[in-house]
Amino acid sequence: MARTAPIAKSQVRTAWVFLTPGLALFFLFVLIPVVAAFYLSFCRYDIIHSPTWIGAKNYARIAEDVGNRGVFYLSLRNTAQYAIGTIPIGMALALGLALLLNAGLRGVTLYRTTFYLPVVTSLVAVSLVWMWIYDPNYGLLNYALELLSRGLTSITGREVLIAPQTWLADPGQAMPAIIAMSIWRGLGYNMVIYLAGLQGIPDHLYEAAIIDGATPWQRFRSITWPLLKPTTAFILVVSVIGASQVFAQVYVMTNGGPNNATTVIVHQIFQNAFSFMKMGYASAMAFVLFGIIFVMSLINLRLLRGGEVEYV
């Protein structure tokens, strides 16, 4: 085995010159704030007064809140509802779109760009547009329901009345409304990732399957889906992390209402930190969220662990 040449000191110095700015920013804006937040999670701190060490009382308070089904418990439940509502449907739709675009449709670049545009659009701007769509008086969605009511009335010959919905003001409809918007907004990102995974599958595998008489469903089940396992694992982990950290659309569209029906973990962290000035309690919530994301990511990676595939 050939020996690797020793690295010259000048190369090491050059490497440190390029790494130092990035490392400095990392320590200044990531590592130091994380350490400070971890310390504050064991303190009572309201920004005005100095932090007071109280041990694990903030974490005990969170546990008590969950046991009594308080506001933090509601935020956990709503975050789980949001994740369950967005991740499976979003991934399924993204995979379906990727399969269609990978089939050689005309104008594939135009479709890809169109579906990806919401991803690069400001989430606040998207939320404001969807607030107009959900508006109970002038919203596009209620207008579509009105048109549907008229059409059914003309078809059946008797009056069919579909009442306008309040959507974001209804505790039973607010979270599904946010879920629908989030699925639409994130569809393009997952679609592009799946499309990259599909284009990495060698054509000769499909050609051999076609020669053997495999149906499209058999080709998908035996070739496409197994070879997309690493891609699916990546999308699932990223989606779980994103769903656990949902905030902007909730803050803009409902601000956690109505009646805490849409409050999520990050919204509660924000409320306690900047509205109630409970920085220590909010920091403890943040580290509880970190623990949840860490455990869920490990579970997802273990369930969908896929090794590298070698093609001959």
Task: Determine the pLDDT at residue 308.
Answer: 43
Q: What are phi and psi of 250, to 5 degrees?
A: -65, -45
Task: Determine the pLDDT at residue 6.
Answer: 66
Task: Determine the pLDDT at residue 12.
Answer: 83
Examine residue 4 and state whether it is found in any structural domain, yes or no. Answer: no
Question: What is the arithmetic mean of pLDDT over 45-60?
Answer: 92
Examine residue 10 and state whether it is found in any structural domain, yes or no. Answer: no
Single out the residue of 170, 191, 168 nearest to residue 178, CA to CA.
168
| Tally of domains within the chain | 1
Count of H helices and E strands in the chain?
A: 15, 2
How confident is residue 85, by pLDDT bands cut at 50, 70 and 90? very high
Question: What is the arithmetic mean of pLDDT over 145-156?
Answer: 88
Task: Determine the pLDDT at residue 13.
Answer: 87
Which of the pair, 12 or 226, is modelled with greater confidence?
226
CB of 160 within 8 A of CB of 153?
yes
CB of 136 within 8 A of CB of 166?
yes
Task: Determine the pLDDT at residue 76.
Answer: 95
Examine residue 38 and state whether it is found in any structural domain, yes or no. Answer: yes
Single out the residue of 224, 221, 235, 126 nearest to residue 181, CA to CA.
126
Examine residue 159 and state whether it is found in any structural domain, yes or no. Answer: yes
E strand map for the chain: 43-44, 52-53
What pLDDT digit, counting tens, does each position of 243-267 carry?
A: 999 999 999 999 998 999 999 999 9
Task: Determine the pLDDT at residue 172.
Answer: 92
What pLDDT digit, counting tens, does each position of 88-140 carry?
A: 999 999 999 999 888 877 777 788 888 889 999 999 999 999 999 999 888 89
Single out the residue of 294, 261, 307 nearest to residue 77, CA to CA.
261
Examine residue 11 and state whether it is found in any structural domain, yes or no. Answer: no
Contact residues for 83 (Cβ-Cβ < 8 A; gap 6+): 239, 240, 243, 244
The Cα–Cα gap between 92 and 269 comes to 31
Amino acid at 55: G
Question: What is the arithmetic mean of pLDDT over 10-26?
Answer: 90
Task: Determine the pLDDT at residue 184.
Answer: 94
Tell me: cis bond preceding 136? Omega within 30 of 0 counts: no
Examine residue 168 and state whether it is found in any structural domain, yes or no. Answer: yes
CATH of the domain at 165: 1.10.3720.10
Single out the residue of 69, 124, 55, 58 nearest to residue 273, CA to CA.
58
Examine residue 190 and state whether it is found in any structural domain, yes or no. Answer: yes
Above 90 in pLDDT, residue 153?
A: no
Task: Determine the pLDDT at residue 111.
Answer: 80
Above 90 in pLDDT, residue 2?
A: no
The pTM (predicted TM-score) of the whole model is: 0.88
Between 29-33, 56-60, 75-79, 113-117, the lowest mean confidence (pLDDT) is in: 113-117
Percent of the chain topping pLDDT 90: 65
pLDDT, the chain, mean: 89
Token duo for residue 162: 């579909």
Domain ranges, residue 260: 17-303
Question: What is the arithmetic mean of pLDDT over 39-58?
Answer: 93
Task: Determine the pLDDT at residue 5.
Answer: 59
Task: Determine the pLDDT at residue 265.
Answer: 95
Task: Determine the pLDDT at residue 109.
Answer: 78
Examine residue 225 and state whether it is found in any structural domain, yes or no. Answer: yes
How confident is residue 310, by pLDDT bands cut at 50, 70 and 90? very low
The SS3 assignment for 79 reads helix
What pLDDT digit, counting tens, does each position of 154-195 carry?
A: 888 888 788 888 999 999 999 999 999 999 999 999 999 999
How confident is residue 150, by pLDDT bands cut at 50, 70 and 90? confident
